[in-house]
Amino acid sequence: MIAGSEIGGESDRSLWHLLLKLKKAVQRYYFDHNATTPVSREVLEAMLPVMTEVFGNPSSIHHYGQAARAKLDDARRHVAKMLNCSDGEIVFTSGGTESDNLAILGIGGHVITTTIEHPAVLASAGQLSVTEVPVGGSGIVDPAAIRAAIRSDTKLISVMHVNNELGTIQPVEEIGRIAREAGVAFHSDGIQAAGKVPIDVRAINADIYAISGHKIYAPKGTGALFIRKGLNLRPQMHGGSHESRQRAGTQNVAGAVALGAAAQWINQHASAEWPGLAQLRDRLEQGILKRVGDTHVNAVGSARTPNVTNIRFDGIDSEALLIALDLRGFAVSAGSACSSGKQDPSPVLLAIGLTREQAKSSIRFSLGRSNDLAQVEALIDAVAESVAHLRKLAPAYA
């Protein structure tokens, strides 16, 4: 973006200021919940008193320390219930990236993963011996391909529960069985699954399972890792004996309480929320496909979370469409927020067989609690008008 002082003429500066005013005046709607979520009222109410009143170190034995420990234990119970595991199997971390790093590097050895994993998984596995199993146009990995990749030195299989860009739900139950039969540890990145699908780490035979707070209406900088009882990971942070000796460092009690409150809300309310989100997602897809020609839903027909759709617009550059929608007040995404700012197309979309041009013409819409039907209808209008305008400016499309 060019700053106003760097634009040449007076008329250019006036236009710049006019655009800024228009952006400030427009009504804004958020459709990028897979990138991050706002902190919910329930989470904030649970977290704030801990930041000011329960300030003790949970490792201290005096009153203040034990008050903090009680809050930490309570939060651990809520997270454990969300994942269907015991309290002692939850390790609090600083977020999804740390959780995935600890899971993968903590096991070591030969790792089997897929080509559509989050960078936190791929970058960690890339420091070890790794086999990346390809994924077809469905956006779902074939468990038979995972089985075929197992070697005598394989120590870990890491397959995400839900893909962050497509919303596709991976066959983790079957993959977990394959891992258990082979005597190999199974890790699943559940960061986009939490709050969107039921999670039962026992049912999927997970040995390690990662979640992140800021994807489920808790603050950034807090997360958790389920580590099956009896499995000891090699710590990646060294110091004290915190978190069952798996993760050194004084715990972020307020962050853990926030994550626990978010998990408690999911335990009580999320399943009732999912059908409504699915209806909104379906209406968004149907409206866009009806109003805008030459559009395609990526990974259509595959099992997906109820809140995500990834749509390809022929002849459109996704960055131009993102800007056009932002000017109209709608926040959407072209892919993983961890890859934003890159000019390259999404590796996930390339991995499912899209060309570079197709990948760079795709937009992810991810819905959340703040969205309603009126917002969805307004978004459909904005997409239709923006695409029509952009296509007029692209002679190659015509």
Token match 């000019």: residue?
343
User: 43: which residues sit within 8 A by CB, 6+ positions away?
Assistant: 217, 218, 219, 258, 261, 262, 265
Residue of 123, 338, 350, 384 with catalytic role = 338
Token match 């707070």: residue?
213
Which helix H or strand E contains 93, and what residues bound it? strand 90-93
Buried b (16+ CB within 10 A) or exposed e, 234-269: ebbbeeeebbeebbeeebbbbbbbbbbbbbbbbeee
User: 152: which residues sit within 8 A by CB, 6+ positions away?
Assistant: none
Residue 237, both tokens: 């942070």
Q: How far apart are CA 386 and CA 102, in angstroms?
A: 43
Residue 360, both tokens: 């760079």
Q: How far apart are CA 373 and CA 281, in angstroms?
A: 10
Respond yes or no: is residue 85 known to be catalytic.
Answer: no
The CA-based dihedral angle spanning residues 50, 51, 53, 54, taken in that order and rounded to the nearest 10 degrees:
50
8-state DSSP, 145: H
Which helix H or strand E contains 313, and what residues bound it? strand 308-313
Token match 């110091």: residue?
239
Instruction: For the chain, give the number of residues.
Output: 398
Active-site residue set: 338
